[in-house]
Amino acid sequence: MAALGTTSTAQPPGSGLLIIERILRDRDSIWRQIGEERDLGKLTLQMLASSVLALACYGAVLGASHSPAQAGLSALKLPLLFLMTLAICLPTLYLFNLVFGARLQVRQALALVMVTITVTAVLSLAFAPISLFFLLTAFSYSFYKILNVAILTMTAFVGLKFLTSGMHALNAHTARAAAERQAQAEAAAVAELANPSADAPVSPAPAGAAEVVAGTDEGKAAVPAASVSAGPAVQPQPNGTAAPVQTLPAYPPRQPLLLPDGRYAFPVAPPLPATRTGATVLPAGERPASMTLLHVWILLFGFVGTQLAWTLRPFVGEPHEPFEVFRAIEGNFYVNIIHTIGELF
């Protein structure tokens, strides 16, 4: 099966918790593997382990502003936040693409979104020393909360950029696979017309459908399709005169025809018109995923994630408040962020 490049049977670089290195250094091999649906279960588990560990470490940094108990709780809640958002939004991405006839498989959709979460998680962990630095040197609850929201927002944008890049690569793979299937179907049709079975029924032909190859023991000569399908034609003779030639049906018959001069005419299948995959309407289930739908889904993913984060709060515990597992649901995430920014100024 064709892939996003040359298919390799070698073990891909990077495994386990180091899958992020492979994603960042050799992302084309990730897109190729997802397009070919090779070992997606193993790949997804590697990304899951890497992202859960990274998010747990960063969650502990968030909760460290309050107490060790809050740090431990945030280490559990931050991976849960991303995985619950994935569970809520993934069916929408898959089913809507399915409705619009995309070839996207559920395992491919899961792997692509897991790439996004893994990149977001590991890049967030890379910012953990900066977050700890401000926690230890210039702690302000409002500033610390805004700082970490900004870190998670920035890393999420980078992760979503990987998602759109991966979907573009997967669509290119789907288009190439469709082009290959179309070329194979055309080749099979040409072979069927050029080498028909003796008992196959004769089908009506399109206008100007065929040309005939006239053959003798010495060789073969092509007779133009126009002379076959447009009525009486002439056959040049060695002495320069012209003799009528039997008019042949436009569509190649199933047996060679005997011409008046004793030669046989062998049917030749007409070439099929060239088509471009980009201009061909592919059948449902064979089409690339909709990028417009993906962008709408990204907005949905962001809204669900922020609202779920507001529901699971606190992640950054306010120092003067008692330890809480969850807070009462009131207001919303966006109003609270605007209010916190206002407190800083």
In three-state secondary structure terms, 266 is strand
Q: Which of 53, 51, 57 lies closest to 74 in space, CA to CA? A: 57
Look at residue 197 in the predicted model and tell me its pLDDT. 55
The Cα–Cα gap between 76 and 85 comes to: 15
> 128-137 vs 141-194: helix axis angle to the nearest 10?
170
The Cα–Cα gap between 237 and 123 comes to: 82
In three-state secondary structure terms, 56 is helix
The Cα–Cα gap between 131 and 147 comes to: 8
Cα–chain center distance at 248: 50
DSSP letter assigned to residue 127? T
Look at residue 216 in the predicted model and tell me its pLDDT. 45
Look at residue 283 in the predicted model and tell me its pLDDT. 64
In three-state secondary structure terms, 304 is helix
Run of H or E residues at 264: strand 264-268
Look at residue 138 in the predicted model and tell me its pLDDT. 81
pLDDT along the chain (345 residues), means of 10: 42 59 91 92 94 96 91 95 96 90 90 96 95 90 92 95 94 82 79 62 46 46 43 47 47 60 62 47 73 94 93 85 82 82 78
